[in-house]
Amino acid sequence: MLMTQFPAPSDVAGVYDGFGRIYRTVWGPNIHYGYWENDADDSSIEEATHRLTDLMISGLAAQSDERVLDIGCGIGNPALRLISACDVNVVGISVSHDQVAQATKRAAAAGLADRATFQFADAMDMPFPDGSFDAAWALESMWHMPDRSHVLAETARVLRPGGRLAIADVIQRGPVSPEGRVVLDHICENYAVHSLGTVDEYRMALAANGFVDVEIRDITDNVIRTLTLMADAFETVHDKLADLVGEEKATSLIDFVRRFGAIPESGYLFLTAVRA
């Protein structure tokens, strides 16, 4: 019997299609955190979000003409940057039809349609043959997955032996305080997040699914500024948000993004691994 899993693809699509366009007006086309070198780094949101993509690009170390799977591709911005940097071919998947359409349009506009393909697909059940990719990455999509270990098993299946993996993901750190529990539960329930993983969970799941040469970096200190900046950015479009989702939800969104950035449980990792 099939178990109902949270979040369903339609839950995830609902979140991104819902306020995705407003989000883009304040945060830009990269649907992920920014990366700052240190406290003195005053890079813009655009620079910092590109820098996180660049960290993934260097971690993946893809070679020219390789075939790369982008698990949770958003509107394609990271994939197009990867192609421009490394001359690879990318297949991006998302559970939002709207994102797939936008990513496809952006690839054509960038003159990269021959290198980038985007399609609707669930990472829990990838429609690709075994060993059909040289590399894969998941840039901030794993926290949505109903079963991260299963997605890693699927990823190992579609990668060739020796294929490389890079992941950036929002994680949970340390024991959870009462305030932490309130904030984490709110984020998961309202934004189609299954749960936050931990460094230990990733280490175990990667080993269990045949990944070796695992390197994990906790980059929380470099990215956590994102949440305060995002709350500030959403404040500037509060009225538009309220028109879209209602006053109460708009206010709570901004409040919880800010609180998420303030709790010590809020973390972020960057990892690379190789499929044995």
Q: In the complex, which residues of this chain contact ligand SAM (CB under 6 A)? A: 9, 12, 16, 30-32, 72-74, 77-78, 93-96, 99, 122-124, 139-141, 144-145
Nearer to ligand SAM, 143 or 211 (CB): 143
Tell me the closest approach of the beta carbon of residue 205 to ligand SAM, in angstroms: 16
Tell me the closest approach of the beta carbon of residue 249 to ligand SAM, in angstroms: 19
Nearer to ligand SAM, 261 or 276 (CB): 261
Tell me the closest approach of the beta carbon of residue 9 to ligand SAM, in angstroms: 6
The one-letter amino acid at 156: A
Nearer to ligand SAM, 172 or 239 (CB): 172
H-helix segments, 172-245: 178-190, 199-208, 220-223, 225-236, 238-245
Tell me the closest approach of the beta carbon of residue 53 to ligand SAM, in angstroms: 7
Q: Which residues of 116-140 are buried (b: 16+ CB within 10 A; e: fewer)?
A: bbbebbbbeebebeeeebbbbbbbb
The one-letter amino acid at 18: G
Nearer to ligand SAM, 21 or 174 (CB): 21
- The sign of the torsion formed by the CA atoms of 149, 219, 256, 77 equals negative
Q: DSSP assignment, residue 129?
A: -
Tell me the closest approach of the beta carbon of residue 191 to ligand SAM, in angstroms: 9
Nearer to ligand SAM, 11 or 276 (CB): 11
Tell me the closest approach of the beta carbon of residue 247 to ligand SAM, in angstroms: 25
Nearer to ligand SAM, 122 or 201 (CB): 122
Residues 6+ apart with CB under 8 A from 132: 67, 158, 160
5: left (phi over 0), alpha (psi -120 to 50) or beta: beta
CA distance 107 to 12: 23
